[in-house]
Amino acid sequence: MPSTAMTAKLNEQITHEFHASQHYLAMACATDAMGLKVVPRWFREQAEEEREHALKILDYLLEVGARVKLAALPPPPSEYKSVLAAAEAALKSEKKVTKQIHDLVALADKEKDYATRSFLNGFVDEQVEELKHTGDLLQLAKMAGDNLLQLESHLRHAMSKPAGG
């Protein structure tokens, strides 16, 4: 079973992942209010993924017989003045989550908790993808500038490609 410290950190990460999910959902709502269709769908898919991450950690804790402790979520920022601003916030958030995951890995190494270390591998890989994914959105938003129709069209194309492409 993970140590008390590791269990506490994994529980914290569940909260971080749910918060990231809420954050993306707020971005979906804000960009929907801008009259967009594809960008909100992109954010909403991200929100679903983050929720899955939270549940994956929750299931791991249950599997190893550790206690799950859910916590209150801070309200996500809900106002964005542009898609670019939302994309910048998304990338910043993914960098933060990446650091959190790496800190968990460092703790697992320190504690010689090889089971948790192995469990976290998927999250380390996932963050590489998430950073690439959000970086791509930011770049698209930068290139499109005020041309939101072009952004929507490019993003629709990118989303139609198979995952990992």
Comparing every residue's Cβ against Mg ion, the nearest one is 53
**DSSP characters over the chain:** ---HHHHHHHHHHHHHHHHHHHHHHHHHHHHHTTT-SHHHHHHHHHHHHHHHHHHHHHHHHHHTTPPP---PPPPPP---SSHHHHHHHHHHHHHHHHHHHHHHHHHHHHTT-HHHHHHHHHHHHHHHHHHHHHHHHHHHHHHHTT-HHHHHHHHHHHHHSPTT-
Interaction of residue 50 with Mg ion, rule CB under 5 A: yes
Fill in the per-residue mask, 9 to 38: x = in contact with Mg ion (CB under 5 A), - = not in contact. --------x---------------------
| Cβ closest to Mg ion, residue 31 vs residue 127 | 127
- What number of other Cβ atoms are within 10 A of residue 160's Cβ? 8
The distance of closest approach from Cβ of residue 90 to Mg ion in the complex, given in angstroms and rounded to an integer, is 12
The distance of closest approach from Cβ of residue 32 to Mg ion in the complex, given in angstroms and rounded to an integer, is 22
| Cβ closest to Mg ion, residue 86 vs residue 144 | 86
Total site size for Mg ion, rule CB under 5 A: 3
Interaction of residue 53 with Mg ion, rule CB under 5 A: yes
Kindly indicate which of the ranges 6-14, 33-41, 48-56, 143-151 contains the residues binding Mg ion, using the contact rule CB under 5 A. Answer: 48-56
Where in 116-145 is the site for Mg ion (CB under 5 A)? none
Q: Which residues bind Mg ion (CB under 5 A)?
A: 17, 50, 53
